[in-house]
Structure 1
Amino acid sequence: MKSVLFHSTVMLATLSTLLFSGQFAHAQSVEKGTDAAYIGGGLSAGVTNGGQNGDAANLGGNIQGRYQIEDTPVSVRGAILFGEETSAIMPMVSYDLPVAQNTNVYVGAGYSFVEADGQPSPLGNRDSFMVTVGGESQVAENIVVYGDGKWGINAYENSSADALSFQAGVGYRF
């Protein structure tokens, strides 16, 4: 089941990125990728349940940011996923792959710190390692759209269940 969810997330993020960009990688002369540093916000949807009372999937919001390490395909990222009861704060590092003009897909890893253990966030109810797969595209001079999936490994108290959430948002390039 985890493999199916992970592969579904990868496909969703890749397709979303291509749709956002409106362009496919087709010409060698077109500069691919984006180095945009940005901060943005949007929606977050937890889609899993840990199996205990209070573990229900929930809808919330996100604040996400990116800063590319110069002359590398590596970025430092941060995200806050917030729900009705608590937030999960995530520092991450990603590998960015340019796929079209002003567009990247990325895969990364980090750690999710749940502010109030035992309270549901969009990514589980306890601290956990996490993996992210997503895409981003600069659609105007200072506007970036992004979408990703985050997989929290063993992210529920009193359960071996993993958590999965999907995010989408709009960011401001700085």
Structure 2
Amino acid sequence: MRHLFKSFVTLAALSSLTISSVLMTNGKAFAENEKGTNANYVGVGLAAGVTEGGQTNDAPNLGGNLTGRLKLGNTPLSARGNVLWSDKTSAIIPELSVDVPIANRTNAFLTGGYSFVETDGKATPLGNRDSVVVGAGVESEVGKNFLLYTNAKVGLRAYQNSPASAVSINAGIGYSF
């Protein structure tokens, strides 16, 4: 388990470095003074559950994610929706985020929401039961209508018969509209 966790942390770090390098090389193609992004988007990518609750049906697993963002007017808030799935079931996660511009066409964000597991007891990348979810991530436009995103989510007490929290690391590519 420890080796698997280290692998996923390494993957997350490499994803961050990849996004940073893309920003550095493509920064000249974007407007020089535009800090942050207001892009509304839908994206798809990988979801990696990196924790377990100590019971059956809650082992770490690899799945996918479908993510969307809708900027809420001129506020620093966004409505977000996520679906994290495994080969067993999926978790549907509506969230509200606070977005912080950190670089050219790049935001960091903090999220809060709730995970609704379609079939309680079946493993998703974010546990196997409904739970409160908090998270943090980064999104960055890398070309016209495209952006990369990565985030980590923590499902609080997200395993049946266990007080353990679940952690999922997600990354993907989005299409802005």
State whether TM-score is above 0.5.
Answer: yes
| Cα shift at 1:21 | 2.4
| Cα shift at 1:30 | 1.6
Residue 36 of structure 2 contacts residue 106 of structure 2 at CA under 8 Å; is this kept in 1? yes
Equivalent in the alignment of 1:91:
94
Q: Any idea what the Cα deviations from partners look like across 1:102-137, whole Å, max 9, x if unmatched?
A: 100000100000000000000000000000100000
| Cα shift at 1:22 | 2.5
Matched position secondary structure for 2:20: helix
Residue 120 of structure 2 contacts residue 129 of structure 2 at CA under 8 Å; is this kept in 1? yes
Equivalent in the alignment of 1:34:
37
For residues 1-174 of structure 1, what are the structure 2 equivalents within 5 Å?
15-16=16-17, 18-22=20-24, 30-174=33-177
Q: Structure 1 residues 146 and 31 mapped into 2: Cα distance closer, same or farther (>3 Å)?
A: same
Residue 68 of structure 1 contacts residue 74 of structure 1 at CA under 8 Å; is this kept in 2? yes
Residue 61 of structure 2 contacts residue 86 of structure 2 at CA under 8 Å; is this kept in 1? yes
Please report the TM-score for the alignment, with normalisation by the length of structure 1.
Answer: 0.87
Matched position secondary structure for 1:81: strand
Hey, which of these two has a bigger chunk of helix by percent? 2
2:13 and 2:110 mapped to 1: Cα distance?
Answer: 13
1:22 and 1:155 mapped to 2: Cα distance?
Answer: 38
User: Percent identity among equivalent residues?
Assistant: 48
- Segments of 4+ in structure 1 off by > 2 A? 11-23
How many residue pairs align between the two structures?
Answer: 161
Q: Structure 1 residues 53 and 65 mapped into 2: Cα distance closer, same or farther (>3 Å)?
A: same
Greater relative contact order, per chain length (Cα 8 Å cut-off, separation 6+): 1
Structure 2 residues without counterparts, runs of 5 or longer: 1-8
| Amino acid aligned to 2:115 | S
1:65 and 1:98 mapped to 2: Cα distance?
Answer: 18
Structure 1 residues without counterparts, runs of 5 or longer: 1-7
